[in-house]
Structure 1
Amino acid sequence: MSDPHPARPLRSGERPAPPAAERRTLFRKLVEFVSPGPDSRDELISTLADAEHRELIAPESRLMLEGVLRMADLTAGDVMVAAPRMDLLDIDAAYDDLLHAVIGTGHSRFPVYEGARENVIGILMAKDLLKLQRSPDLNLRTLLRPAVFVPESKGLNDLLRDFRSNRNHLAIVIDEFGSTAGLITIEDVLEEIVGEIEDEFDDKDGESGVYTLADGSQRVAGDAAIEAVNDVFGVQLPVGDFDTIGGLVAHELGHVPRRGEATQVGPLMFSVMLTRGGAVRWFKVTRAPEEALGSDGA
């Protein structure tokens, strides 16, 4: 019997249709994605990797799609900045102190507390401090915007939807007892999809977190291992309760280092270059002057 639908000749440059078996395989994968089984997400991620290998999608697209899939399992508590690392402003602080804190940290939004750090009463936009400078008699409370509170268990998908619909960029995360657990920003959520949002201090190629600057000093990541710094400088900074150089410096200072702050740890001087989310991203590290070493008894 002749074929009722004979294949038409291929036009110039036209590729033949994929075999029926391949079309069925693609259809089956699509059905499994729409009606996922217990292993559908892993299989979909594998399919995305195969699509990248066949150059159907770019590597950056695959990474973002995988980020979207994995974000479905994450909550606000998984990616928040923990409460001890939050940069907050005291409602009763003097204007100069507020300005110093804003400039020192470089954030655009700050939770404001009254009395205890747990008592967050609103959010201050850094740019609104200009209004206080123009009108010193203006009450700071009138500049505060309502604080948004979310539970630790809130899914990132839902949180991103809320951020977009309510035009908020920051939320205070509370635990099951109603206490402040941390804060989360829209940037924290987006980074789960697109990866680390690079800034002028970020370096994609390095792995140790220690880089040489033009003046011969070193740029050291806050999460760099203490052993890496010891190897580069040939020193013996203590490796005990802390794994990272940021943790060691914070312990020596007695508080989370602020941008522009400098301190000596052993034979090295650490100057904070950049902070983000209440943690130090980069230190500038030099050897301490001989006079300082002598005064420390080193």
Structure 2
Amino acid sequence: MSDPHPAHPGRPPEREDKRTFLQKVAEFIHPGPDSREELIETLAEAEDNEVIGADSRVMLERVIRMADMTARDVMVAAPRMDLINIDAPFDELMNMVIHTAHSRFPVYHGERENIIGILMAKDLLKLQRSPTLNVRALLRPTVFVPESKGLNDLLREFRGNRNHLAIVIDEFGRVAGLVTIEDVLEEIVGEIEDEFDIPEDDGDIFGLADRTYRVSGDTLIERVAEAFGVTITGSDPGEHFDTIGGLIAHEIGHMPKRGELLELAGLQFVVLHTKGGAVRWFKVSRVEETDAAG
């Protein structure tokens, strides 16, 4: 038997609407969000109604907001990049790895702008076993991305090419900074701690092999002053702070970022790790020792 209502020639068959009548009424009364901000408000309502947990809501909101972010928003600016000179001796390379605890390093030749490759810290073990091996043979290709690169696209590329670090270039082709896959993921899941992060309950000041110290941002100012034998006071006598992290953030004048440094009371404080807008860890050294090393 033929179809009593044949489809119009050339017209694609209509999809069957599987929504129930009640679902259609509910969507008419409470339409879906029309904007990103409305979607974020919907997530907040879902959390209030215990449809999703607080952690899930925060992560989903970060994913949504990440769509508007670019490489420039999360990169480590060029002046704060830890770079390796291709002509540096092996001992200096090892000191850099121990000093910074990074797993990957951009390598330059001549000027810092002339980045010729990426060196994996683990590859230095090959140099230790074979001192005659040329460092250039260990370099991996450099990936360059523009400042305007969206984080969604950047994360997709990181996953696709198995690369975890890219050099960020400004509109004039100059090096603006670097961005890692960890920087991007932290925009979704928050600060990622690594094997070098020490639980706060385990202590607050640790001596390192290069005669610098790792100091928790929650350490009391009096404790830091006593440990280094100095008097620590801020530039504003009217302000009072209990922890060294609070004082340093006030002196810097904005939310500290990884790699920023400040000299105070004859000490140099370098921000190593931040979380929730607060400094978790500083690297601290005496200014005179820093000058001598430079």
Distance in 2, matches of 1:227 and 1:176, equals: 40
Q: Specify which of 64, 69, 72 is matched with residue 69 of structure 1.
A: 64
Contact 2:273 2:282 in 1 (8 A): no
Distance in 1, matches of 2:111 and 2:282, equals: 30
The C-alpha deviation readout for 1:120-158, integer Å capped at 9, x for no partner, is 000000000000000000010000000000000110000
Are residue 162 (structure 1) and residue 157 (structure 2) matched?
yes
Secondary structure of the 1:57 match is coil
CA distance 1:106–1:245, shift in 2 (3 Å): same
CA distance 1:48–1:271, shift in 2 (3 Å): closer
Q: Which residue of the partner structure matches residue 27 of structure 2?
A: 24
Q: Specify which of 94, 100, 109 is matched with residue 99 of structure 1.
A: 94
Structure 2 length-normalised TM: 0.67
Q: Specify which of 162, 184, 188 is matched with residue 189 of structure 1.
A: 184
Percent of aligned positions with the same letter in both sequences?
Answer: 58
How many residues align structurally? 235
Residues 1-298 of structure 1: matches in 2 within 5 Å?
23-25=26-28, 28-29=31-32, 32=33, 37=34, 40-198=35-193, 200-201=197-198, 209-212=217-220, 216-217=223-224, 231-232=241-242, 242-243=252-253, 250=261, 252=263, 265-266=264-265, 269=267, 274=272, 282-283=281-282
Contact 1:226 1:239 in 2 (8 A): no
The C-alpha deviation readout for 1:36-88, integer Å capped at 9, x for no partner, is x4xx1111100000000111111111111111110000000111000000000
CA distance 1:241–1:57, shift in 2 (3 Å): closer
CA distance 1:83–1:50, shift in 2 (3 Å): same
> What is the identity, as a one-letter code, of the residue corresponding to 1:282?
W
> What is the identity, as a one-letter code, of the residue corresponding to 2:281?
W
CA distance 1:88–1:194, shift in 2 (3 Å): same
CA distance 1:183–1:18, shift in 2 (3 Å): same
Distance in 2, matches of 1:226 and 1:190, equals: 36
Secondary structure of the 1:232 match is coil
CA-CA distance at 1:243 after TM superposition: 2.2
> What is the identity, as a one-letter code, of the residue corresponding to 1:41?
R
Distance in 2, matches of 1:251 and 1:45, equals: 38
> What is the identity, as a one-letter code, of the residue corresponding to 2:26?
R
Contact 1:87 1:110 in 2 (8 A): yes
CA distance 1:125–1:243, shift in 2 (3 Å): same
CA distance 1:241–1:67, shift in 2 (3 Å): closer
CA-CA distance at 1:272 after TM superposition: 6.1
Contact 1:109 1:126 in 2 (8 A): yes
Secondary structure of the 1:178 match is coil
CA RMSD of aligned residues (A): 4.1
CA distance 1:191–1:273, shift in 2 (3 Å): closer
Distance in 1, matches of 2:250 and 2:261, equals: 14
Distance in 1, matches of 2:284 and 2:109, equals: 36
Distance in 1, matches of 2:189 and 2:29, equals: 27
Gaps of 5+ in 1: 1-16, 220-224, 253-264, 293-298
The C-alpha deviation readout for 1:237-262, integer Å capped at 9, x for no partner, is 99998426979x9454xxxxxxxxxx
CA distance 1:89–1:70, shift in 2 (3 Å): same
